[in-house]
Amino acid sequence: MDIKLKITDREGKRHEVDAPTDMALNLMEVMHMNEIAPEGTIGVCGGMAMCASCQCYISSNDIDLPEMQMEEEAMLSEAFYVKENSRLGCQIPITEDLDGLEVTLAPES
Amino acid sequence: MIKTDILIIGAGPTGLFTVFEAGLLKLKCHLIDGLPQPGGQLAELYPKKPIYDIPGYPEVSAAGLVDNLMDQIKPFQPGFTLGEKATDLKKLENGNFLVTTDEGTEHEAPIVAIAGGLGSFEPRKPVLENLDFYEKRGVHYMVKNPQEFEGQDIVIAGGGDSALDWSIVLADIASKVTLIHRRNEFRGALESVDRVKELKDMGKIDLITPAEITAIQGKEKVEALSIQKNDTKEEFNLPTDHFIPLFGLSPKLGPIADWGLEIEKNAIKVDNSLDYQTNIPGIYAIGDVNTYPGKLKLILCGFHEATMMCQSAYQRIHPDKKYVMKYTTVGGVTGFDGSKKQAPKAVVKSLD
């Protein structure tokens, strides 16, 4: 099944995208696939929680995200423009529970 | 002036393997890389991570693959210019290319192979007002010569290995070292974290956590930093001579983008139907740095691209010769160092 995601890009433009839940994708890969940001400015490290180029702010309060693991926490502690609701897209697997999730891609750094 | 047959920009896995394929064709290589060690991303970003999709290796660590490649190309005696970034490219009258680094080292070759991966690693800069102004006036993004901080007050910011390691090294050199990190936890090798704690207890490192640097002060150069504690929200000024933010490196295409090459989506367009040549004849782009329809950024694809590229380079260098491909199982490997590896001859012997 596909879920719907609402993603605001770095220019403030909103995109509504469909994301398949059966392809083992993560949020960074969905943003990459949909060209939410130019190549080379998102998912630079390939999804190893090592660059924070997929940092996004989560706007939905009613959706439970997987708990942050140590690597993600450590990366976010060194990244810039970090807010309370920052997460790394590459560490959020696309599951049915995420249907309707709203996120904003953080600035490039 | 360094002269070679194929000048490779980028010493990641693709660049390193190019040396091997070129060596089989008796072409010499020299590599330039901005990082101080060969291996590119594999060595810099994830040396301990296992890789599972290198043909013939069910599992190999990134650092292990780099070691193996260095071993494999050793007979071909590649030259290295490490810790320097290729910044300028010029075509000479004799048809060769002249590539100059940020340190002014000059390289001349008839063929340039750009194996630059994601680009050159640039320091990630904190978001602070007038940061540019203070660069070379007390702000440093890397420590090149620790001795220059002798007898000086320094502040290091960051929570990873480089922040920890440089705090340890400079604790013995600088007159005062303060380490500031946004959180109480550091991410680094256990020995480094323990050592910093020891030095803190001995009074050789001041630790301020969890805290944020909010501004740089100083008329002509860095004189003090404004600091805010994240827990108590307390704000204060810390006088210092130097500020060294160490927040890791992020790759940027950099000066290569200005060499007149056709760029698409932050990558160099190449002819994938033939030889991975760019729009400038004699300049090739291989590995993660290039793009073409169906491109996959995989090490194994980089190896293939390097192999095809070397054949084309051979034809450019020797337009009059016809190359006949030989398998290494047949021809063996003859190094420029005089070494020769060859399959042992089969024994023909009757059994009676």
φ and ψ of B97, to 5 deg: -105, 145
Q: What is the pLDDT of residue B343?
A: 84
Give the model confidence (pLDDT) of B297-345 as tens digits.
999 999 999 999 999 999 999 999 988 888 999 889 999 999 999 888 8
Tell me the C-alpha distance between A2 and B169, whole Å.
53
**CB B49 to CB A77 under 8 A?**
no
- Using a CB–CB cut-off of 8 Å, the residues of B that contact A are 45-46, 49, 118-119, 124-127, 158-160, 181-183, 185, 187, 247-248, 250-251, 253, 265-267, 297
Please indicate if any CB of chain B lies within 8 Å of the CB of A85: no
What pTM value is reported for the model?
A: 0.84
What's the Cα-to-Cα distance from B220 to each of A4, B128, B139, B224, B240, rounded to whole Å?
Answer: 53, 17, 12, 12, 13
* Residue the block writes with tokens 């398998």: B327
* Token pair listed for B233: 């929200």
Tell me the C-alpha distance between B211 and B252, whole Å.
29
Mutation choice for B interface testing from A78, A82, A108 by most B CBs within 10 A: A78
Phi-psi region of B144 (alpha: psi -120 to 50; beta: other; left: phi over 0): alpha
**CB A80 to CB B127 under 8 A?**
yes
- Predicted ipTM of the assembly: 0.81
**CB B158 to CB A78 under 8 A?**
yes
Domains and CATH numbers, chain B: 2-121+250-341 (3.50.50.60), 132-247 (3.50.50.60)
Tell me the C-alpha distance between A48 and B50, whole Å.
12
Query: Are B256 and B250 within 8 A, CB to CB?
Result: no
Burial class (CB in 10 A: 0-12, 13-18, 19+), B172: exposed
* Closest CB from A39, A51, A74 relative to B250: A51
Domains and CATH numbers, chain A: 2-105 (3.10.20.30)
Give the model confidence (pLDDT) of B161-180 as tens digits.
889 999 999 999 999 999 99
CA B322 from centre of chain? 36
**CB B267 to CB A40 under 8 A?**
yes
Q: What is the pLDDT of residue B298?
A: 96
Helix (H, G, I), strand (E, B) or coil at A104: strand
